[in-house]
A and B are shown apart, each in its own frame.
Chain A
Amino acid sequence: MPRLLVLASPGRSRLPLPDLAREAVAGGADAVLVRAPDLGPEALRALAEPLAAVVAGRAALLVGREIGVARALGCGVNLPERGDPVATARAALGPGTLVGRSVHSAAAAADLASDGADYLLAGHAFPTASHPGQPPLGPAGLRAVVAAARSPVIAIGGIDAGNAATAVRAGASGVAVLGAVGEAADPARVAAEIRAAVDAALREVSGAMGDRAEDTDDMATAVVVNGKPLAVPPGTTVSGFLAGKRLADGMAIVELNGTILDRDAYPGTTLRSGDQLEVVHAVGGG
């Protein structure tokens, strides 16, 4: 899961986008999202294509919205809040490709609970030049998104080295930046500062969780499966849980907190403490 996602967007980068991507990855970005909402698919593809070689093997590449372009480039896609279902992207891109989605509210995160995105890009987190005059989510809003979300949350909007830790303490698994890196005089240095802040805050947060859980299994996530309490390792996804139970492929169906999960959503759905699962299969019957 990306901890530092850098957006490469025309007009918001001092450097040509391939150069920005190189700098960002050198500084510690582990994902680069090419975002150009004003461009058509052809132009987006032309813009993103040179970045593939730059980030290859070092960070994930994603494009905004266009599943067809992602498929052509063999990269991931970040879907808009009201865009295609994640299942559509997965069907086109195959397993193992990052599929994320932008959300702007806790309500949207809740609506998309069974969508199965690998991450939710939630914003805008802090006041930002991209959304002048609009109230940001702030730490409380971000916390609400994390609570409603079924996927890891990446905070976006007004993020810098000074407030990245605040986003992580609000429950974000990572942060995304546009101008802070793109418009910086030294993008690699700024990326490194933000990445360091995120890593430190994540250690701090997981350390705090460890303290709370000192007498129980090592930070285990407590869930209820088929009516029985069960502890699973933190970060366990539904597909990871099923694989751990050695269930034959495609034989089980999972209901999570009363909602039937689409099978495509299993890999992107992380179990959280208090989750109620019904895991059901077919048995003999008349």
Chain B
Amino acid sequence: MTATAPATTADAPLTIGRRTFTSRLMVGTGKYRSREEMRAALAASGSQIVTVALRRIDFDDPASRSILEDIDPGQFTILPNTAGCRTAEEAVRVARMARAMGLGDWVKLEVIPDATYLLPDPIGSWEAAKTLVAEGFDVLPYIGADPQLARRMEEIGCATVMPLGSPIGSGQGVVNLAAIRVIVEQATVPVVVDAGIGVPSDAALAMEAGAAACLVNTAIAQAANPGLMAEAIADGVRAGRKAFLAGRIPVKAHAAASSPLTGVVGRA
């Protein structure tokens, strides 16, 4: 018997605007219990893209320091977000600050007016995206899983669309898979499922549906063991991606036996 290497397809790199990556898991840097846990989890995730937010420096807190001091710029590309911005104007302002800070001409765009559901404002996001694209940004807009909005974002030159799986930090998983499938089907930019992922199977589900990448923060940061969960979710992303490339079988209504139905012992 000869051993045969498993037939694998070399995956294409993930291209977002002017940047190219091999990892398909992006991770956030919020809500970690300590900087040590965060550093360990970032390393275990194998991610190449990590997101950060921008905030006023608290001069009353002597321990306050930039998160960038704990992120190796040689290992990770920093993706600034506009989290906390409620209007297009605020988001554009923060994106410009991030660029002035030296974080590059790209931004994960969030325009979120409500704090209960943290659902993005489609109109404000679209307006901000238009402005930022005109200013030379690669824009990665966080959006509801609305296929028509995704198209409109793509039309004005966004580098990705980032539909949410379920509300930010909720860990509900991917509750709108049908809509995400439609977004994937018609998109010509990478679709990054962002928010709501709780466990590796959620990430796998999104990747199996054809998402180009997932962005995960809370599920890793707040896990009992963030490093281990980072590894697990990275596995989930890889598994889902491989399954997507491999091509799943069609779903059937009835069973289809895996073993031959003929020559069964003791039967004519």
In the assembly, what is the distance between CA of A111 and CA of B65, in Å?
A: 33
B134 within 8 A of A: no
Choose among A226, A251, A262, A282 the residue that contacts B100 (Cβ–Cβ < 8 A).
Answer: A262
Q: How many residues of A contact B (CB 8 A)?
A: 25
In the assembly, what is the distance between CA of A252 and CA of B55, in Å?
A: 10
Asked if residues A284 and B100 are in contact (CB atoms below 8 Å), the reply is no
Instruction: Find residues 227-286 in chain A having any chain B CB closer than 8 Å to their own CB.
Output: 227-228, 245, 247-248, 250-253, 255, 260-263, 278-286
Asked if residues A226 and B31 are in contact (CB atoms below 8 Å), the reply is no
CB contact under 8 A between A283 and B53, given known A253-B101, A260-B100: yes
In the assembly, what is the distance between CA of A261 and CA of B54, in Å?
A: 16
Asked if residues B51 and A251 are in contact (CB atoms below 8 Å), the reply is no
A225 within 8 A of B: yes
Q: How many residues of B contact A (CB 8 A)?
A: 38
Instruction: Find residues 11-65 in chain B having any chain A CB closer than 8 Å to their own CB.
Output: 28-32, 38, 51-59, 65
In the assembly, what is the distance between CA of A225 and CA of B60, in Å?
A: 12
Choose among B53, B58, B101, B102 the residue that contacts A285 (Cβ–Cβ < 8 A).
Answer: B53
Contacts of B78 in A (CB 8 A): 282
Residues of A within 8 A of B (CB): 225-228, 245, 247-248, 250-253, 255, 260-263, 278-286
- Pairs across A and B, CB under 8 Å, 23 listed: A226-B59, A251-B65, A251-B68, A253-B97, A253-B101, A260-B100, A278-B56, A279-B57, A280-B56, A281-B65, A281-B66, A282-B52, A282-B54, A282-B68, A282-B80, A283-B54, A284-B28, A284-B32, A284-B67, A285-B51, A285-B217, A286-B29, A286-B51
Known: A280-B97, A282-B78, A285-B52. 10 other contacts (CB 8 A): A251-B66, A251-B68, A279-B56, A281-B101, A283-B55, A284-B31, A284-B32, A286-B30, A286-B53, A286-B195
